[in-house]
Chain A
Amino acid sequence: MSFLVRAKQKVSKFLKSFFSKKRSRIGIYGPPNAGKTTLANRIVRDWTGDAVGPVSEIPHETRRARRKEDITITGTNGSSVVIDIVDTPGVTTKIDYNEFLEYGLEKDEAVKRAREATEGVAEAMHWLRDDIDGVIYMLDSTLDPFLQVNIMMIGIIESRKLPVVIVANKIDLPDAAPQRIRSAFPQHPVISISGMEGDNVEELYEKMTEMFG
């Protein structure tokens, strides 16, 4: 009897692994304070009930990439995708600890924050080359999207032929102009959302199942 049970379990495990969907590693990239961790938290909370990390007004709150594995996202048409979500530090070409002093941090704390942020960005860039299957590129829709770092990052993502969804975040703010982002990157799908309020995230989930499945 136990032999039959074990055999059944083995067959079941084999079939499950054979037919299970491929898991894609999706990186959330973008400049500092675009709302990456807020979106990562929302995705993880919506589909697993958990969270990824803290958010704050101070740039580079996320200094090390955080990963949440095995999230199944289902679109309204029933199609689904299994992903590992990787929340990354804001990509930049410069970090000066003096910037953090303006937010009331002590010098030691600001220097530590700067050091951790530089290591985190380097790591995130390394992962983009080796470890990421798709990208959600987050932009603050109240700001100019034509920053050099955004143009560079989209170019790097395109050169690696990674599927990318551009997210125009913070549409709940009065200065939001997601159309500027659509004009800047017409070659990619752009979804306008408020990560904070949850506006349009269903549309984003739909697009994620389409692009990353």
Chain B
Amino acid sequence: MIQGVQIDFLSAERLDRLTMMEKIRLILDDVRSGTIVVLEKGLAPEEQSRLIELTMLEIKPDGFSGIELETYPARGGNEGLGGFFSRLVGKKSESRLTVIGPANQLKTLKKDEDLISAWVSSR
């Protein structure tokens, strides 16, 4: 039998069709089954907050131990003068590609402005 890790790439269009809870449920169900999820567009702050809350409620001893999550820094959003200027002119920061996986299988090795380097193990 072939062993490996499934990776689901979810387009922004597909996620935009879902409600917040449908989106979080889809991500958590995938991740709990050992799948790495790559979102073309990141989650909104409210969705991130709910994702952390629901993840915590689903952690079980000797079972699901949570998620590892990485995203690029928001473009012109949170940091530096660009961020300040964006807020000044009312421009919303753009959420970017996000990688989410089971904490016991996915480990971020390196992250910067344009690179997320991750190590994935099969169970």
Query: Which A residues have a C-beta under 8 Å from some C-beta of B?
Result: 91-97, 111, 114-115, 118-119, 121-122, 125-126, 128-129, 146, 148, 151-152, 154-156, 158-160, 184-187
Contacts and interface: CB of A to CB of B under 8 A. Distances in A.
Contact of B59 (A95, A151, A154, A185): A95
Nearest to A186: B80
B79 A186 contact: yes
17 contacts: A92-B66, A93-B55, A94-B103, A111-B61, A121-B52, A121-B56, A122-B57, A125-B50, A125-B53, A129-B46, A151-B71, A154-B78, A155-B45, A155-B48, A185-B79, A186-B81, A187-B83
Interface in B66-98: 66-71, 73-74, 78-81, 83-84, 87
A95 B55 CA distance: 10
User: What does DSSP make chain A's interface, helix, strand, loop or mixed?
Assistant: helix
B56 A95 contact: yes
A16 B53 CA distance: 39
Interface residues of B, number: 34
B79 A97 contact: no
B79 A93 contact: no
Given A115-B61, A159-B45, A148 B70 contact: yes
Contact of B48 (A96, A114, A152, A186): A152
Interface in B21-58: 44-46, 48-50, 52-57
Given A122-B56, A148-B71, A156 B61 contact: no
